[in-house]
Amino acid sequence: MSDETAPEVRDPEYARMYAMSLAKWMLYHQENILFERVHWMGVRTLKNPLDCWIYQEILWETKPEVLVEIGSLHGGSTLFFCHLFDIIGAGRVVSVELDRSYYQVSHPRLVDVTGDCADPTVVARVAELCRGKTAMVVHDADHEKSAVLTALRLYSGLVTVGNYFIVEDGHQDVFDPSVRLGSDRPGALAAIREFLAGDDRFVVDRERERYLITYNPSGFLKRVK
């Protein structure tokens, strides 16, 4: 079967649904689902659920002692990570968030660090919490290129070899700014490419994009040295 030939779907209702392209599905998810209808245990989380599945695989495989989440908003993904660590039986989540006005979660495995992630005091506090421990980082804060690049440079050293720095929402660079998925300014994907051009400690793990629909294109950065 060629790439241009769609597989035969017999049921007419599902034939209409499955005829939607991946790009159109991502736009549908962004416009109709993401901001109001994605929750973890009742707490809103602005995530693609397929990415969350990949996150649990990474946590189970690598078992970091600390997961640093830069940008938590409502806290749905923060709680998700805490619950995964509950299942694993070890681990701590460090939530770095500038504005806690929407934040709804607390958990015994959770440490909140409130402030700008680029503030040297915040960076020092997070580094202290990671000192001597295996760690990974998930960035879901300001998605403009300069902010993401700053965070990559400030926090990448905390990631231990074999663990990940996950940069979210690079899809905004992939899509045209005429649709809600896109942005008219360089964002996370542009920051990733510039960072990798000058830092050979990390590689893009394409296996983590195997479900095709991801908000993190080139964003699963594995530290290899």
CATH of the domain at 128: 3.40.50.150
If you average pLDDT over residues 91-115, what whole number do you get? 97
Domain, as residue range, for 150: 39-223
Within a domain: 64? yes
142 assigned to some structural domain: yes
Distance CA 28, CA 92 (A): 34
Per-residue pLDDT tens over the stretch 173-197 = 999 988 888 988 999 999 999 999 9
Domain count, the chain: 1
Q: Classify residue 1: in a domain, yes or no.
A: no
Share of the chain above pLDDT 70, in %: 97
Query: Which residues lie closer than 8 Å to 189 by C-beta, 6 or more apart?
Result: 170, 171, 172, 173, 174, 217, 218, 219
Q: Specify if 19 maps to a domain.
A: no
| Residue 3 pLDDT exceeds 80 | no
| DSSP element (H, E) containing 173 | helix 171-174
* 8, part of any domain: no
Distance CA(218)–CA(171), nearest Å, equals: 9
Tokens for 27, please give them: 């736009």
Average pLDDT of the segment spanning 53-71: 98
Helix (H) or strand (E) holding 22: helix 22-32
The verdict on residue 10 lying in a domain is no
176 within domain boundaries? yes
Residue 29 pLDDT > 70: yes
**Is residue 53 one of the residues assigned to a domain?**
yes
| pTM as predicted | 0.94
* Structure confidence at residue 194 (pLDDT): 98
- Answer yes or no: are the C-beta atoms of 109 and 85 closer than 8 Å: yes
| 91, pLDDT greater than 60 | yes
